Chain A
Amino acid sequence: MYIRVKRNKTTYFIQCDPTEKTLEIKQKLNGLIDQPVNDQRLILVGTGEVLEDSKSLAEQKVENDAVVALTFRKDDNEFEDVNIVRPNDFYQPRDADGANW
């Protein structure tokens, strides 16, 4: 399965297994972004639940295609708020940007 880890305007598609623990996901993220696992926090977007390092994804009801928010530890040792930017238009008809014809 895979999960979608989101922060600001970036989405990381992470391949994983239901039996994997949150910490293993953080280690995978660490390979992509230079952020130590201790400075990462993952939150399941559907429920707002903070994922615990020692628990498996299945235990925390993180399923295939789930959206998980990523936040980083700030300088003052607190974690930043969840910030996921969405595209403002769900569906934009092709002729909406008429100037491009």
Chain B
Amino acid sequence: MRKEDSVKLISAEGFEFVIHKEAAMVSQIISNMLTSPGSFAETEHREVTFPEISTTILEKICQYFYWSLQYANGKETEFPIEPELTLELIMAANYLDT
């Protein structure tokens, strides 16, 4: 994987998740940030910080991105969500337009 094809997502606690650009594009808001011409510093550095999303939730979201890509490619598996994460995950998904 080349650096140019990756995106770094940073959680509230400063943990970093390096994922494939294609996976990040599952989120409408990240996709907008990365593709809109010149208006976001994120476009240039391919780095997005989410001060309101905790590490556990952000990791779950990244897992969802990859699951979503596989699902779109016809691999129909279930996406497991721990009940105690549900509320925070819904809020994050809503924010990310995912």
Contacts and interface: CB of A to CB of B under 8 A. Distances in A.
A34 B40 CA distance: 26
Given A87-B56, A91-B84, A15 B2 contact: no
Given A10-B18, A11-B17, A85-B15, 9 more contacts: A10-B15, A14-B1, A31-B1, A32-B2, A87-B15, A89-B54, A91-B85, A92-B54, A94-B88
Interface of B: 1-3, 6, 11, 13-20, 23, 54-56, 59, 62-63, 66, 70, 84-85, 88
B6 A32 contact: yes
Interface of A: 1-2, 4, 9-15, 28-29, 31-32, 65, 85, 87, 89-92, 94
A1 B66 CA distance: 8
